[in-house]
Amino acid sequence: MKFLNITFIFALISFCGNMSAQQTPAAAQTEPVTIVGATAHIGNGEVIENSLIIFRDGKFTQVMDATSTKMQYPGRIIDAKGKHVYPGFIAPNSTLGLVEIDAVKATDDEDEIGSMLPNIRSLIAYNTESKVVESMRPNGVLIGQITPRGGRISGTSSIVQFDAWNWEDAVMKENDGLHINWPDSFRRGRWWEGEARGMKENKEYKNEVLELSDFFAAAKAYLNGDRNIENLPYAAMENVFNGKKKVFIHVDGEKEITDVIQFKKDHNLNELVVVGGDQALAVADKLKENKIPVLVNRPHRTPEEEDNDYDMPYKLAKLLVDKGLLVGLETSGSMERMSTRNLPFYAGTVAAFGLEKEEALKLITINNAKILGIDDMAGTLEKGKDATLFISEGDALDMRTNILSHVFIQGREVSLETHQTELWKRYMNKYERQSK
């Protein structure tokens, strides 16, 4: 009897575990798929009102106007008249899959001990079973740059798609970029060290910048030497210096961004991206001159400076676009993993504050793809690219109408069911029964 009770308990645990697991990744595409009649938002500013989209073996083979074509539609046909088709949205600078529950240490793998950690790779810590990652798909967020946090040099990010068995299946671009947290020239007083509260000059700023420059110089000397003694952090810098790995510098202040531009020149960094850039508008001309794109932080926040316009976070992306910069949107900050599902609505807010709707869409499609270096495979609905897309009942940048009916990642049709949709249906049924 005792044995049977134990067996029952283990069976129950196994059953509950299966009930709460992520949706099983979709099977590979086996037949062509044809989507007819939808308004296709290509992702590069172009719109096709009555579109014909065909993809097979995970790649787009036709994206065109369906009005005049007489071709026979191959494979499975989806009638999408009155609906909208979009490329999968791309979330840069994200810790999705690195932390599941903030209060549970065993699920938090976004940071490592140390300061200069270019050899740390976020990819191998990425959890494809994350329920948070799963919840991105019903809003059309299908690709992300998984980024470590902490230290002066946090480590190396990789780019994944959100339907996979493990990180090896998920990866689209491995070790795409190095992430650096630039020092602040002003900082809040550290009360735990007896400093007065409030903003004050960081007297260590020059030394902190010098420390970073010295690390780059030492790494370059190591790579040019005989390498008799293995040094993993220095060795990890090789692809930074040869241009195969981009450098993403997380920085906000005007002075700091100016120093970053000089840092780029001093170390001959061809591929550098500013992440955050709250005061980037003040040095926009210098950023444009040095071909530095900006990943602007989400607009749903308060202004960083007391003398900023109240709506500066809402309109910053538009103002930078008007200056001729390549601009994308990222979602870091409080509750960033859960809030990443709001990425399309952040773009919608930017559109509401002056940027034309299709230009706002580019901030989370082709612009982000270009900034991350994956525009050859993602970011637009174009022949030859991955068939990563979704069909929405309405405007995907409006939370009232972004209701998805179909999602495809690399041609595989992905389930829209998540832990949250299950709970939604459960409680909707409860209230529907009570109202009868």
431 vs 263 pLDDT, higher one: 263
29 vs 306 pLDDT, higher one: 29
Beta carbons of 218 and 234 less than 8 angstroms apart: yes
48 vs 334 pLDDT, higher one: 48
CA–CA distance, 19 with 42 (Å, rounded to integer):
37
- The pLDDT assigned to 371 comes to 98
Domains and CATH numbers, the chain: 22-88+380-436 (2.30.40.10), 96-213+242-378 (3.20.20.140)
User: What would the mean pLDDT of 29-39 be, rounded to a whole number?
Assistant: 97
- The pLDDT assigned to 15 comes to 39
Question: Residue 400: how many CB atoms within 10 A of its CB?
Answer: 8
- The pLDDT assigned to 150 comes to 93
Task: Give Cβ neighbours of residue 80 (< 8 Å, ≥ 6 apart).
Answer: 35, 36, 37, 38, 391
CA–CA distance, 198 with 340 (Å, rounded to integer):
30
Question: Residue 309: how many CB atoms within 10 A of its CB?
Answer: 11
Question: Residue 373: how many CB atoms within 10 A of its CB?
Answer: 18
β pairing state of 141-146 and 89-94? parallel
- The pLDDT assigned to 419 comes to 86
Note the pLDDT tens digit of each residue in 339-389.
999 999 999 999 999 999 999 999 999 999 999 999 999 999 999 999 999
CA–CA distance, 152 with 210 (Å, rounded to integer):
12
CA dihedral 162, 164, 166, 172 (to 10 degrees): -60
CA–CA distance, 299 with 74 (Å, rounded to integer):
42
434 confidence band (pLDDT: 50, 70, 90): confident
Lowest mean pLDDT among 197-201, 267-271, 387-391: 197-201
- The pLDDT assigned to 22 comes to 58
CA dihedral 280, 287, 155, 238 (to 10 degrees): -170
18 vs 107 pLDDT, higher one: 107
Note the pLDDT tens digit of each residue in 140-182.
999 999 999 999 999 999 999 999 999 999 999 999 999 999 9
Nearest Cα residue to 295 out of 337, 325, 260, 255: 325
Nearest Cα residue to 328 out of 362, 289, 354: 362
CA–CA distance, 408 with 426 (Å, rounded to integer):
26
Beta carbons of 419 and 20 less than 8 angstroms apart: yes
CA 188 → CA 132, 184, 320, 335, distances in Å?
32, 10, 28, 22
CA–CA distance, 316 with 322 (Å, rounded to integer):
10
CA–CA distance, 87 with 89 (Å, rounded to integer):
6
Note the pLDDT tens digit of each residue in 227-262.
889 999 999 999 999 999 999 999 999 999 999 999
Question: What is the per-residue burial (b if ≥16 Cβ within 10 Å, else e) of 204-215?
Answer: ebeeebeebeeb
Question: Which residues of 22-108 form beta strands (DSSP E)?
Answer: 33-36, 39-41, 47-48, 51-56, 59-65, 76-79, 84-87, 89-94
Task: Give Cβ neighbours of residue 172 (< 8 Å, ≥ 6 apart).
Answer: 143, 159, 160, 161, 374, 377, 378
- The pLDDT assigned to 292 comes to 98
Task: Give Cβ neighbours of residue 97 (< 8 Å, ≥ 6 apart).
Answer: 125, 126, 127, 128, 130, 132, 133, 144, 146, 160
9 confidence band (pLDDT: 50, 70, 90): very low
- The pLDDT assigned to 306 comes to 81
CA 321 → CA 157, 261, 362, distances in Å?
26, 19, 11
Q: Which helix (H) or strand (E) holds 409?
A: strand 404-409
Structure tokens that stand for 61 in this block: 């083979």
CA 420 → CA 18, 398, 425, 426, distances in Å?
16, 20, 9, 10
395 vs 420 pLDDT, higher one: 395
Query: Is 50 exceeded by the pLDDT of residue 6?
Result: yes
13 confidence band (pLDDT: 50, 70, 90): very low
Beta carbons of 154 and 147 less than 8 angstroms apart: yes
Query: Is 50 exceeded by the pLDDT of residue 36?
Result: yes
Mean pLDDT (the chain) is 92
Nearest Cα residue to 423 out of 135, 1, 183, 104: 135
CA–CA distance, 100 with 117 (Å, rounded to integer):
23
User: What would the mean pLDDT of 299-303 be, rounded to a whole number?
Assistant: 92
User: What would the mean pLDDT of 308-326 be, rounded to a whole number?
Assistant: 96
Beta carbons of 366 and 44 less than 8 angstroms apart: yes
Percent of the chain with pLDDT over 70: 95
